[in-house]
Amino acid sequence: MPISVGLLCTSFTMIPVVQTTDSNIPAAAVSHSIITDSSFTSADAASVLYNDISLQEFGLSEEAFDYAWKGYQNLLERKMISRVNYLTICDFSQSSKKKRLYIIDVTNSKLIINTYVAHGKNSGGEYATQFSNKMESLQSSLGFYITSNTYIGEHGLSLRINGVDPGYNDKALERSIVIHGAAYVDAARANAGIFMGRSWGCPAVPQKESTNIITTIKNGTCLFIYHPSRNYLLGSKILNG
């Protein structure tokens, strides 16, 4: 199985912490060394990346990241990802009051965006607990997606996402599940102790950030919507294929 990006080394040097221009998220990188130990696995690479970016400090569990990385590597092997540098994780195990959307630049080992994201109105209130692939369910769908093209719709600039997890999200295009901006997703709600508004199943993001998010990850990057649902984790053909 291919192991992506330039962090595959048994000895590495940390580049000094810097601040990203837009999000003020500390960024750390691993030097692009040549692999010197054949025992260095995909799981090792995941652990290095998770720890070097300090994702735990931003609320993303290592379990969620490990599942995301495993599926990302599987999709790379299948040649389904055309833009391999970004991995986006939406962690629905967290409260919607939390910044639970993570856009990771895996090539440069940086967390470039960390912000809020809504779940479907029939998936739950503050927490998402119910998920569906059915038409008109108004629920979020778990699993792996490949981002597609953009268009201008009722929510402005929007991004189509193609669900590639059979039985879990492969009706996303048919259901018009897209990434779009929404006024009901913003920091003011979280600061007031109010959970985010909910969508009709779309991973809606803050309106002021939507253009940057969409243009960053459009056209062939990997998106993973996570929840520790045993049904999904044991049944996904991407995680278990």
CATH no. for residue 154? 2.40.440.10
In-domain check, residue 189: yes
- Please give the average per-residue pLDDT across 206-232, as a whole number: 98
> How high is the pLDDT of residue 37?
56
In the chain, the number of structural domains is: 1
Distance CA 115, CA 117 (A): 7
The pTM score is 0.85
In-domain check, residue 2: no
Give the model's confidence band at 33: pLDDT under 50 very low, under 70 low, under 90 confident, else very high.
Answer: very low
Residue 229: give the domain boundaries: 80-240
> How high is the pLDDT of residue 102?
98
> How high is the pLDDT of residue 241?
83
In-domain check, residue 27: no
pLDDT at residue 204 is higher than 80: yes
Give the model's confidence band at 40: pLDDT under 50 very low, under 70 low, under 90 confident, else very high.
Answer: confident
In-domain check, residue 233: yes
Which has the minimum average pLDDT: 6-10, 155-159, 198-202? 6-10
In-domain check, residue 60: no
Give the model's confidence band at 36: pLDDT under 50 very low, under 70 low, under 90 confident, else very high.
Answer: very low
